[in-house]
Amino acid sequence: MFEPNKIIVTGGCGFIGSNFVHWVVDNTQCDVVVLDKLTYAGNPENIAGLPEDRVRLVVGDICDAALLDELVPGVDAIVHYAAESHNDNSIADPSPFLHTNVEGTYQLLEACRRHGKRLHHVSTDEVYGDLALDDPARFTEETPYHPSSPYSSTKASSDLLVRAWGRTFGVQATISNCSNNYGPYQHIEKFIPRQITNIICGIRPKLYGDGKNVRDWIHTEDHSSAVWTILTKGTPGETYLIGADGEKNNIDVLHAILEGMGQPADAFDWVRDRPGHDRRYAIDSTKLRTELGWQPQHTNFAEGLAQTIAWYRENEAWWRPAKEATEAKYAKQGQ
């Protein structure tokens, strides 16, 4: 059992990173240094109100080796969430994805090597590419890498760097690959919050392609508990898949949102498909469940979605400033 007293959480002002910081404060004694560049996706409001003696925000870039040399000696481990995370953005401009996802992970690995610290690298199921709709298979830790988008190829690259630094330099690192998260603080460029906030704004929701693409939804709080489990009980050098058996196609998710918000089932627009759009993701998380004893708690999707809709209704001041620019960007792409 690894028992960290203090960790760096990179990307701790983003969606999943900030939910993890809340989870750590609520469920452990561990203190947190959030290292975040505050890009368009990072918002200090996400961690506002947390106890100042437990959580410190450092605004900076994970590619800044000198800054890492200041911060890393003072902690026991780094939990690495920082990334450019949106597929559509990576198609419009891949460059920041290479900087943050590849170069940034390299700099963190080098800092861990210099200072003898542990790393947990947070990655995605998209590194495995996609599955056919009629294929009963799910991704496992043994599935070959086959990424489709600029985003997922940079995440795959970062995973391979972590594996190489473990084997060649002995860096003590674990990797997790998780499926699609939903919950509070998710940027409104992403599917579920985009449709919820569209409806609140009187804009029709937008569905890509034929709407049959399948995603394997997990509540972000379950992702947090899984990452903590892997950090504290996982074996360095190992990869663990995180998923909660939440496969659903996009049209069913959209219908659930429309129904939950009192809209007719056909009150949405079909829009241009995403180039290279992955068809289906599905996670087999047997290894994490059997070897480390993790179980998801929020498996009632209808309940989680209702809470998420309520959160966006109650926190309009949080998302409203980003809405116009986000929709303008999509409009340019015909989406």
- Interface positions with ligand NAD (CB under 6 A): 10-11, 13-17, 36-39, 41-42, 61-63, 81-83, 85, 100, 104, 122, 124, 155, 178, 180-181, 187
Minimum gap (Å) between residue 192 Cβ and ligand DAU: 7
Catalytic residue among 151, 182, 185, 281: 151
For residue 100, the partner it binds in ligand DAU, ligand NAD, none, with Cβ less than 5 to 8 A by kind, is ligand NAD
Per the CB < 8 A criterion, the answer to whether 218 and 212 are in contact is no
Q: Which residues pair with 249 in a beta bridge?
A: 214
**Could you give the 3-state DSSP secondary structure of residue 332?**
helix
- In the bound state with ligand NAD, the residue whose beta carbon lies nearer, of 61 and 327, is 61
Q: Check if 151 is active-site.
A: yes
Pick the piece of the chain touching ligand DAU (CB under 6 A) from 42-50, 103-111, 119-127, 219-227.
Answer: 119-127
For residue 194, the partner it binds in ligand NAD, ligand DAU, none, with Cβ less than 5 to 8 A by kind, is ligand DAU
The one among 6, 86, 233, 329 contacting ligand DAU by CB under 6 A: 86
The one among 174, 239, 250, 285 contacting ligand DAU by CB under 6 A: 250
Binding residues for ligand DAU, rule CB under 6 A, total 19
DSSP-derived letter for residue 241 is: E
**Angular region, 81: left φ>0, alpha ψ -120 to 50, beta rest:** alpha
For residue 296, the partner it binds in ligand DAU, ligand NAD, none, with Cβ less than 5 to 8 A by kind, is none
Cα gap 127→13, rounded to integer Å: 24
For residue 208, the partner it binds in ligand NAD, ligand DAU, none, with Cβ less than 5 to 8 A by kind, is ligand DAU
Alpha-carbon distances, residue 158 vs 82, 83, 100, 262 (angstroms): 12, 10, 10, 42
The interface mask with ligand DAU, positions 209-228, x = CB under 6 A, is ----x-x-------------
DSSP assignment of 153-203, as one string?
Answer: HHHHHHHHHHHHHHHHH---EEEEEE--EESTT--TTSHHHHHHHHHHHTP
Cα dihedral 133, 94, 60, 172 in deg (nearest 10): 50
Q: Check if 245 is active-site.
A: no
**Could you give the 3-state DSSP secondary structure of residue 301?**
helix
Of 207, 196, 223, nearest to 308 (Cα)? 196
Q: Check if 238 is active-site.
A: no
Cα gap 256→268, rounded to integer Å: 12
Minimum gap (Å) between residue 203 Cβ and ligand DAU: 11
Catalytic residue among 31, 36, 125, 130: 125
With 0-12 / 13-18 / 19 or more C-beta atoms within 10 angstroms meaning exposed / middle / buried, residue 322 is: middle
Binding site for ligand DAU (CB under 6 A): 85-87, 124-126, 179-180, 190-191, 194, 206-208, 213, 215, 250, 274, 281
- Catalytic residue positions, numbered: 125-126, 151
